[in-house]
Structure 1
Amino acid sequence: MVQMVKAVLLDRLWARMNERGDFPLLSQSLRTTVAAMTNDDYDFSALVKVVLSDFALTQKVLRLANSAMYMAFGGNITTVTRALMVLGMDAVGHLVVGLKIVDHFHHSAPRRIDAKLELNRTMLSGCVARKLTEHGDLRAGEEAVVCTLMRQVGKLLVVFYLEPEWDQIRRELEEGSSDDEACLDVLGVTFEELGLEAATRWRLPDTIRAGMRKFDPADKEPRDVQWLRAITNYSTEVARVLTTPGLSDEMRETHIAELAQHYGRALSTDADVLVQMSLALAREEAEDGVMREIVELRANADAIAREALDPEARIAAGVEDLRALPADSALSTALTLATETVLAGLGFARSVVFVRQGANMFEAQHGFGPHMGQVLPKLSFSAAFQPDVFHLAIANKVGIFIENARDAKILARLPSWYRSSFDDTRAFVLLPVGTPGVEPVALMYGDWLMSQEPRRISQKEMSALNDLAQQLARFFTHAPQTV
């Protein structure tokens, strides 16, 4: 009976959250991310698409991959695909989940000091978790950060979406009740139960749901679960101490020392080291310190654009990434890397790779850009010669740049299947993929839209693109021509 009452209450709460409109979008986004993480480890395309669908998120992932924290693992990383190859599917996937959760609440923040304080506490706890794990396994570290954020999601949901109930809870907290006591009294569930329900509805992995629970050293859980819980709970408690008003420096240090003694063994870290790390965070300038240590969650999205390499160098970096892949790597990995390099290198709106199927057809296999999931199945054409620019590129085995796709003479050379799908193109490039003396096995495409500023592709940039296409060709000799 109690479970039934709780289920009814949770459904009612979720309905009220959904009325705001933005919560369902977060839920769907997280489910898509988690689903992409469970794909074949050698097929990065699903997770790459999740990241590339959000420009700001793309910049944050690349900024992280090139930060001092991870420089030793990759160096100059210019594509999300390369970030995945260097940092791993799980590490980037968990990073994306954490970014999406915090960004959602950041952009939904009401103009209430208490709401902003709770969000800042959550972000600070993520900072502590990352600081604790920055020198260890990347995947485990990002997983620990997500657990830490999720432990406080229950409270954030109440603060942001259930304001009258939060006001009641806050009054009880001011009278001395604990978080769980106050939430249970007002809502009939605890903040932890709300967070776990969110994790379940977002289909987060079992490890996340286990790691976000309360830490108890007496629990007989696996060591990795206990470690996650220790990170999660220690980080949450430290953030609470650091943001509690009215505490003297001495009182703050005493509280943190007690926490370090309690969690030090589970974290395999000396208590004094934990104390010094935590106090160092307190000494930093509040906003700058927090923002820097939580992977610049609110960093300016165009920071990467300002620091980016020139197009020729970005494409050359992609060529080097392809060259570094073993020739027997999965074809899908090479296609994803090459397609994203074309997109990122020249700031195209869309990029597609057509792969030859047998002797008769070229079919789109990978693509990035808006609505690409809907368009991709419609993109195919016969290998038999037609008087259009696609077959001209294939026949000449050299890249072609069309500067004005709206010109009447060019329009006459664009096939109907292309015009019906890409009627907003300003300019595009075609790059045949193959070896000398052999019919091309693929054709790469990238475009700028009418909504973008007009520009041209220089001779050096075209040369770099042709190098990319040639480097991609070697992966077809070790793999089937279907993906």
Structure 2
Amino acid sequence: MVQMVKAVLLDRLWARMNERGDFPILSQSLRSTVAAMTNDDYDFTELVKVVLSDFALTQKVLRLANSAMYMAFGGNITTVTRALMVLGMDAVGHLVVGLKIVDHFHHSAPRRIDAKLELNRTMLSGCVARKLTERGDLRAGEEAVVCTLMRQVGKLLVVFYLEPEWDQIRRECDQGTAEDDACIDVLGVTFAEIGQDVATRWRLPEAIREGMGEYDPAGNEPRQVQWLRAITNYSTEVARVLTIAGLTDEAREEHIAELAQHYGRALNTDPETLVQMSLALAREEADDGVMREIVELRANADAIAREALDPEARISAGVEDLRALPPGSPLQTALTLATETVLAGLGFARTIVFVRRGANMFEAQRGFGPQVEGHLDTLSFSAAFQPDVFHLAIANSVGIFIENARDPKMLSRLPAWYRARLDDARAFVLLPVAHPGEPPVALLYGDWLLSQEPRRILPKEMSALNELAHELARFFSASPAKARV
């Protein structure tokens, strides 16, 4: 049963990522990188091609290869081929994997403070891992950085691609639930299990997958695996401690000292040295690096959090996200973005988008929440007129809000298919999606349940919802009969 829940969640997560359109590109790129790294004939050509195919990535590889950390190994490296010759295939390959992962998330959710903070915390942990290994073997060092980043990929994927579920996990954690327990409550799996699945799908080397695991001082794993896990776990924990809001300097140093005592032996480093290194890195980053951005984000957190809680602002941000999608973006991507925006913007329990098929039917194509996923194929209605609220909505040019779906007068206006499937709704909104002067091509639905506190949709919020529906319409063909998912 547990394995079934895990499989369903992971399949849903990967489907959601694929809908966004950018994740499959990252997956293929990482597989190509790993394949080039594991080429037994030591031909640099394929890995050079991978790096040179991305100008920004090329510059980052060369910049890091010429940094103070690697200067003793080469100096004045101006080509990727030279970097490979000096630093080695594995070191550059792992470096490329790490940069691609960070870049992907960096460009995925620029507006959300929680996503930015989680990504910066991950990047900071990578900085700690690189600092810990800078005097050792380059290959092992970059491998440790990738392990450290991958340990947190599961969490990043939930933050970036399952926003409603992430919000629920955060609420449980705020109430004192341990993060792993909250994750299991909401998703049925832990962040670590998601990360391991990702590593498998990306075909990362076994050493990476092993190094992502939990560190156990009494474990009987090979020494290299224990070392990788110690770096990965220590770096992740240090980054967490360094970014806890409101922690005094004394308390922060005390926490890091405890971590240094626990991991010092496995890392072959004196605990005091570990503490000083970690604190020194935090000071360096505070001057010009990830920590500085975290501090700046924290400084603006209250204002951003207020905006995030303001429904109009959240919906408007979703409108901007729709506008930012490049021409030719898949309709699936726009539908997912719109339904997530409606769900998160107003704190709805469920959202569904019905798409017009031909001239006769509206069929549910995307949805989130209880009684939705897995049941979309049972939610549809004919476009032919019926005296119910759904047909009132598709005949309207703007959205309508039903404040009390349990009112006897309203119950008579609810279609039978709706009462059979969604009979626990307290209130709901219907937003027609249409080109000017044409019949609707879709209908957005969102509801609050009887178990939720009653509330209303304010005029400014409805205005933002109508703007979202208007923006969504441009992703459909001008004629509803041509709309395809």
TM-score bracket, normalised by the shorter chain, equals 0.5 to 0.7
Find the counterpart in structure 1 of residue 227 from structure 2: 227
SS of match in other structure, 1:77? coil
Aligned partner letter, 2:198: A
Q: CA deviation at 1:281?
A: 2.0
The number of equivalent residue pairs is 292
Distance 1:287 1:14, change over 3 A: farther
Q: Of the two structures, which has the highest relative contact order with CA contacts closer than 8 Å and spacing of 6 or more? A: 1
Alignment of 1:427-446 (within 5 A): none
Aligned partner letter, 1:80: V
Distance 1:232 1:144 in 2: 7
Distance 1:209 1:285 in 2: 28
SS of match in other structure, 2:136? coil
Aligned partner letter, 2:218: A
Q: CA deviation at 1:285?
A: 4.8
Distance 1:69 1:19 in 2: 40
Q: CA deviation at 1:39?
A: 1.0
Does 2:58 match 1:58? Answer: yes
Q: CA deviation at 1:41?
A: 4.6
Q: CA deviation at 1:2?
A: 2.2
RMSD, matched Cα: 1.3
Find the counterpart in structure 1 of residue 76 from structure 2: 76
Kindly indicate whether the alpha-carbon contact (under 8 Å) linking 1:184 and 1:190 is maintained by their aligned counterparts in 2: yes
Find the counterpart in structure 2 of residue 208 from structure 1: 208
Find the counterpart in structure 1 of residue 283 from structure 2: 283
Distance 1:110 1:167 in 2: 17
Distance 1:179 1:34 in 2: 31
Deviation string for 1:160-206 (max 9, x for gaps)? 00000000001011111222111111000000000001100100001
SS of match in other structure, 1:19? helix
Distance 2:159 2:290 in 1: 21
Aligned partner letter, 1:2: V
Of all paired residues, the percent bearing the same amino acid is 87
Aligned partner letter, 1:124: L
Alignment of 1:11-410 (within 5 A): 11-286=11-286, 288-290=288-290
Runs of 4+ in structure 1 over 3 Å off: 289-292
Distance 1:61 1:131 in 2: 17
Deviation string for 1:224-254 (max 9, x for gaps)? 0000000000000000000000110110000
Distance 1:57 1:202, change over 3 A: same
Distance 1:291 1:175 in 2: 27
Q: CA deviation at 1:54?
A: 0.3
- Taking structure 1 as the reference length, the TM-score comes to 0.59
Q: CA deviation at 1:83?
A: 0.5
Distance 1:199 1:69 in 2: 27
Aligned partner letter, 1:283: R
Find the counterpart in structure 2 of residue 3 from structure 1: 3
Q: CA deviation at 1:282?
A: 2.4
Kindly indicate whether the alpha-carbon contact (under 8 Å) linking 2:130 and 2:142 is maintained by their aligned counterparts in 1: yes
Find the counterpart in structure 1 of residue 340 from structure 2: none
Distance 1:287 1:204 in 2: 34
Kindly indicate whether the alpha-carbon contact (under 8 Å) linking 2:282 and 2:291 is maintained by their aligned counterparts in 1: no
SS of match in other structure, 1:284? helix
Aligned partner letter, 1:184: I
Aligned partner letter, 1:199: A
Kindly indicate whether the alpha-carbon contact (under 8 Å) linking 2:148 and 2:232 is maintained by their aligned counterparts in 1: yes
Kindly indicate whether the alpha-carbon contact (under 8 Å) linking 1:110 and 1:160 is maintained by their aligned counterparts in 2: no
- Taking structure 2 as the reference length, the TM-score comes to 0.59
Distance 1:110 1:289, change over 3 A: closer
Deviation string for 1:100-139 (max 9, x for gaps)? 0000000112411111000000000000000000000000
Q: CA deviation at 1:287?
A: 6.5
Distance 2:2 2:178 in 1: 22
